[in-house]
Amino acid sequence: MDKQFNIAVIGGGSWATALVKILCNNVETVNWWMRNDDAVDHILKFKKNPNYLRSVEFDLSKINISSNLQEIICSSDLIIIASPSAFLVKIFENFPMELFKDKIVFSAVKGIIPEYNAIPARFIHKTFGTPYENIGIICGPCHAEEVALERLSYLTIACQREKNANILAKLLECRYIKTTVSDDLFGTEFSAVLKNIYALASGICSGLGYGDNFQAVLISNAIQEIENFIDEIHPIHRDVKSSAYLGDLLVTAYSKFSRNQTFGFMIGKGYSVKTAQLEMEMIAEGYYATKSLMEINKKFQVELPIVEAVYNILYEKISPVIEMKILADKLN
């Protein structure tokens, strides 16, 4: 891989921080945009992100960090967007979209754009005018916290144009990161959105005191729901038992690093949505995704009893105890 390849990471959170850490292994310079000027100054002074993955120390000779978004986009060939989905519309508000012409854009966004009920790929296509063959997704199973610890992790890079997927896969491979490529852009992206909802369900059940036996049934039903939904919205051959689908679901539903599982656990313990959000101080993408998926599924009419149960708890304010008892009778 040509180490002169110009690559940018957009975002200041844990995944953006992890991606910059990984990319510094293989490129001479990573262009990194962060909105927060104080965080930029802190990194330039102390070599660490003050808010996320504080154990990561950066080699500043390999990072061009700035809060000037136009400057970062203009100086890059490949853009990785790694900001929470709830912030994307605001980030690119009034941005001159022509600057994205001929760029390759990958999403490391783990949610759905709530303003449009759109997956990141569709948002990128509609907002920037980027053709789908130049749009990709980075998905797991992988937690940023384990990347920071340099624990062996796996990433799936999906793009309809295999060449683009291979470019990024090679840029991300290193001693503790293994990569695979896929052409299933829409399936992997919707699966990445759905697994956050199922992690919420897993957390709610844990908070209510359900045990491992029930969790196994819950998650085995969840992967069936994922398969049924993505086969309906984009019917191509895929194996949902592979890491990009089942693996990503499992790590998000079970890991102590999963913010969606943590959020769900708090709901199961009796926290209100607002209180849980304030306590976490982090975005649980599954909260926004639940409402959006219910809207999207009005068109496709796929049976999604777990998604519906989570929606009823979060948005209809039905008791988690009651809703999960109803759901338990639907699972098999």
The yes-or-no verdict on residue 314 having pLDDT over 70 is yes
Give residue-wise pLDDT tens across range 211-225.
Answer: 999 999 999 999 999
Pairing of strands 7-10, 30-33: parallel
The yes-or-no verdict on residue 2 having pLDDT over 80 is no
Determine the Cα angle at 119 with ends 228 and 144, to 5°. Answer: 95
pLDDT, mean of residues 253-268:
95
Give residue-wise pLDDT tens across range 154-190.
Answer: 999 999 999 999 999 999 999 999 999 999 999 999 9
Domain boundary among 183, 216, 240: 183
Q: Which one has a higher pLDDT value, 1 or 17?
A: 17
The yes-or-no verdict on residue 281 having pLDDT over 80 is no
Residue 25 belongs to a domain: yes
Residue 103 belongs to a domain: yes
Instruction: Classify residue 244 by its DSSP letter.
Output: I
Give residue-wise pLDDT tens across range 71-113.
Answer: 999 999 999 999 999 899 999 999 999 999 999 999 999 889 9
Please state the φ and ψ torsions of residue 34, each to the nearest 5 degrees. -130, 140
Kindly report the CATH number assigned to the domain that includes residue 212. 1.10.1040.10
pLDDT, mean of residues 237-255:
95
* Residue 1 pLDDT: 44
Residue 53 belongs to a domain: yes
pLDDT, mean of residues 284-290:
94
Give residue-wise pLDDT tens across range 30-48.
Answer: 999 999 999 999 999 999 9
Report the distance separating Cα 109 and Cα 234, nearest Å: 20
Instruction: Classify residue 24 by its DSSP letter.
Output: T
With tokens 């989570």, the residue in question is 310
Kindly report the CATH number assigned to the domain that includes residue 21. 3.40.50.720
* Residue 4 pLDDT: 63
- For the CA atoms of 175, 181, 187, 193, the dihedral, rounded to the nearest 10 degrees, stands at 20
* Residue 110 pLDDT: 83
Number of independent structural domains in the chain = 2
Same domain, 138 and 15: yes
Same domain, 111 and 217: no
Domain that holds residue 28: 7-183
Same domain, 156 and 245: no
Residue 294 belongs to a domain: yes
Report the distance separating Cα 155 and Cα 173, nearest Å: 9
* Residue 3 pLDDT: 43
Report the distance separating Cα 295 and Cα 330, nearest Å: 22
Residue 2 belongs to a domain: no
Average pLDDT over all residues of the chain: 95
Residue 1 belongs to a domain: no
pTM for the whole structure: 0.94
Residue 219 belongs to a domain: yes
Report the distance separating Cα 158 and Cα 189, nearest Å: 9
CA distances from 275 to 20, 236, 289, 307 (A): 32, 41, 19, 22
The yes-or-no verdict on residue 272 having pLDDT over 80 is yes
Give residue-wise pLDDT tens across range 23-34.
Answer: 999 999 999 999
Same domain, 209 and 161: no
Q: Do 237 and 305 touch, CB atoms closer than 8 A? A: no
Q: Which one has a higher pLDDT value, 219 or 1?
A: 219
Q: How is residue 96 written in tokens?
A: 């001159």
Same domain, 76 and 139: yes
Q: Do 56 and 83 touch, CB atoms closer than 8 A? A: no
Same domain, 306 and 245: yes
